[in-house]
Amino acid sequence: MRVPSIEVTGKAKSSGAKDVFEKCRQFTRPTDLQAAGLYMYFEVFGDRDGCQAGEVRLGKRNILMFGSNDYLDLITHPKVKEAAAQAIRKYGSGCSGSRLLNGTLDLHIKLEAELAAFTHKQAAVIFGTGFQANYATLSALTEKGDVMICDHNLHASLVEGALRSPARTVRFRHNDLDHFDRCLRNCMPNEKLLVVSEGVFSMEGDIADLPGILRLAKPWGARVYVDEAHGIGVLGATGAGAAEHLGVLDEIDIVMGTFSKSLASVGGFIAGERAVVEYLKHTARPFVFSASLPAASTAAVAAALHIMRTEPERRHRLLRIASLLREELRARGFQVLPGETAIVPVVIQEEVDLCRLCKALLEEGIYINPVLRPAAAQNLLRISCTAAHTEKQVDRLVTTLTKTARLLGIQA
Ligand SMILES: Cc1ncc(COP(=O)(O)O)c(C=O)c1O
């Protein structure tokens, strides 16, 4: 069988016709994939009434969810939901304006102070999404003559921010300190440097060598920016992320976090030196020219942050579950990437196999995200664990995955 290309996010080829919409009509990849039974996007989930922890509703079925980044299982926590509901009752459904003008609430100011303290920084600022936080900050902070030295595997929001910036961008091989050192040495003495890494890499789930990065970068006067989207809530003595876990949180110049994962809401933040935060608040265009985070989302984050800090057992349970899953999958011959976070990526070489596997698992009642090149260096079944998962659910996942892969003739 000839299988259509599985990449659906790329640009469609222009047909040359004189209508900008023409390329959209020529964009048949999603329908080609649907026809081949390989389309895996935009599954529609319903409410969670009657779902157990770790489950979501898909049509009439309860599905075991191993694709969510709700790492601490707080999205449905009664205190988080109540905080959001109460905020809606008190403040209404939105802010109808930019933070700069009419859109700042006392809830924003309070949460920013808490996030600054949480990440050991002088100040913090909240954005509408994590994507916006990265994009806005990298593009606003750097100028012509600066150099951004970026890990090769950065999230699209960081890549887009770097592309939007007038600074020169240099990419070092993923987590490769020798190459990073060479990149630093190749910069001109007059160039100002910003090093950008993720704390926990979003697709591979591995942890950046932040102590190594700091050791090499600081003698050059470089500033270090770390995206802790997948580290916060998962790693560190207080859940502040990979930098805290590695004992270098105080040395990181800028910490970025998102609210869409462990913090059970939507939005993002940047924390750092007060002057930097003030600069961003007045110059970062996606911040200045966009409405502020609604009260309900802000209050949900504050409640989730409180639970995260007072219930460290959630983080410990999550890490135990992820470690058990890694062990069980390896014991059955699956190629699991090394790591110690909530993300358990299994290499499936062929993209067609990966898509067929995800479809078949869904038939069996288990949802897992497929990650296709070039979103990661290799095609991955990206399993994400949460504090909701039980040993029994891990057992069901491992048994079903082993059986399904064998039935489809997929090499573990
Ligand atoms: C590493 C990383 N940074 C930033 C983001 C963007 O976060 P948000 O979903 O809040 O826009 C994500 C989301 O997937 C991510 O994985």
409: left (phi over 0), alpha (psi -120 to 50) or beta: left
Q: Do the domains at 45-69+312-407 and 78-310 have one common CATH topology?
A: no
pLDDT for the residue numbered 3: 52
* Beta pairing class for 369-371 and 380-384: antiparallel
Fill in the DSSP letter of residue 98.
B
Residue 349 has pLDDT above 90, yes or no: yes
- Span 362-383, average pLDDT: 94
Q: How confident is the model at residue 188 (pLDDT cuts 50, 70, 90)?
A: very high
- Span 84-100, average pLDDT: 97
Tokens 């070489």 locate to 349
Q: Is 358 helix (H, G, I), strand (E, B) or coil?
A: helix
Q: Is 2 helix (H, G, I), strand (E, B) or coil?
A: coil
Counting from 1 in the atom list of ligand 1, the atom nearest the Cα of 198 is 1
- Span 248-274, average pLDDT: 98
pLDDT digits (tens, 9 = 90+) for 29-60: 899 888 988 888 999 999 999 999 999 999 99
Task: Please tell me the total number of residues recorded for the chain in this structure.
Answer: 412
Chain centre distance of CA 107? 24
| Helix count and strand count (H, E) for the chain | 15, 13
Handedness of CA 30, 36, 38, 41 (dihedral sign): positive
Q: How far is the CA of 189 from the centre of ligand 1 (A)?
A: 33
Provide the whole-model pTM: 0.95
What are the tokens at 321?
A: 């579950």
Question: Rounded to an integer, what distance in angstroms lies between the CA atom of residue 277 and that of residue 335?
Answer: 42
pLDDT digits (tens, 9 = 90+) for 275-292: 999 999 999 999 999 999
Q: Which of 131, 159, 270 to mutate to test the pocket of ligand 1 (most atoms within 8 A of CB)?
A: 131
Most distant CA atoms of the chain, gap in Å: 63
45-69+312-407: CATH, from 3.40.50.300, 3.90.1150.10, 3.40.710.10, 3.40.640.10: 3.90.1150.10
Residue 361 has pLDDT above 90, yes or no: yes
Beta strands in 104-260 (DSSP E): 123-127, 146-151, 168-172, 192-198, 223-227, 254-258
Q: Which helix (H) or strand (E) holds 29?
A: helix 29-35
What are the tokens at 57?
A: 């509703």
Say if residues 195 and 172 touch (Cβ distance below 8 Å): no
Question: Rounded to an integer, what distance in angstroms lies between the CA atom of residue 284 and that of residue 289?
Answer: 9
pLDDT for the residue numbered 1: 44
Residue 4 has pLDDT above 60, yes or no: no
Question: Rounded to an integer, what distance in angstroms lies between the CA atom of residue 318 and that of residue 389?
Answer: 8
| Ligand 1 cavity residues, CB under 6 Å | 129-131, 134, 155, 157, 198, 202, 227, 229-230, 258, 260, 268
Looking at the chain, the whole-number percentage of residues with pLDDT higher than 70 is 96
Residue 315 has pLDDT above 90, yes or no: yes
Task: Provide the residue ranges of all domains of the chain, joining segments of one domain with +.
Answer: 1-39, 45-69+312-407, 78-310
Looking at the chain, the whole-number percentage of residues with pLDDT higher than 90 is 91
Fill in the DSSP letter of residue 198.
E
Counting from 1 in the atom list of ligand 1, the atom nearest the Cα of 266 is 10
pLDDT for the residue numbered 29: 86
78-310: CATH, from 3.40.718.10, 3.30.70.250, 3.90.1150.10, 3.40.640.10: 3.40.640.10
The phi, psi pair for 195, rounded to 5°, reads -95, 135
Q: How far is the CA of 287 from the centre of ligand 1 (A)?
A: 16
256: left (phi over 0), alpha (psi -120 to 50) or beta: beta
Question: Rounded to an integer, what distance in angstroms lies between the CA atom of residue 56 and that of residue 366?
Answer: 10
pLDDT for the residue numbered 6: 60
Q: How far is the CA of 171 from the centre of ligand 1 (A)?
A: 19
Q: How confident is the model at residue 2 (pLDDT cuts 50, 70, 90)?
A: very low
Q: How far is the CA of 137 from the centre of ligand 1 (A)?
A: 14
Contacts of 381 (CB under 8 A, 6+ apart): 345, 346, 347, 348, 354, 357, 358, 368, 369, 370, 371
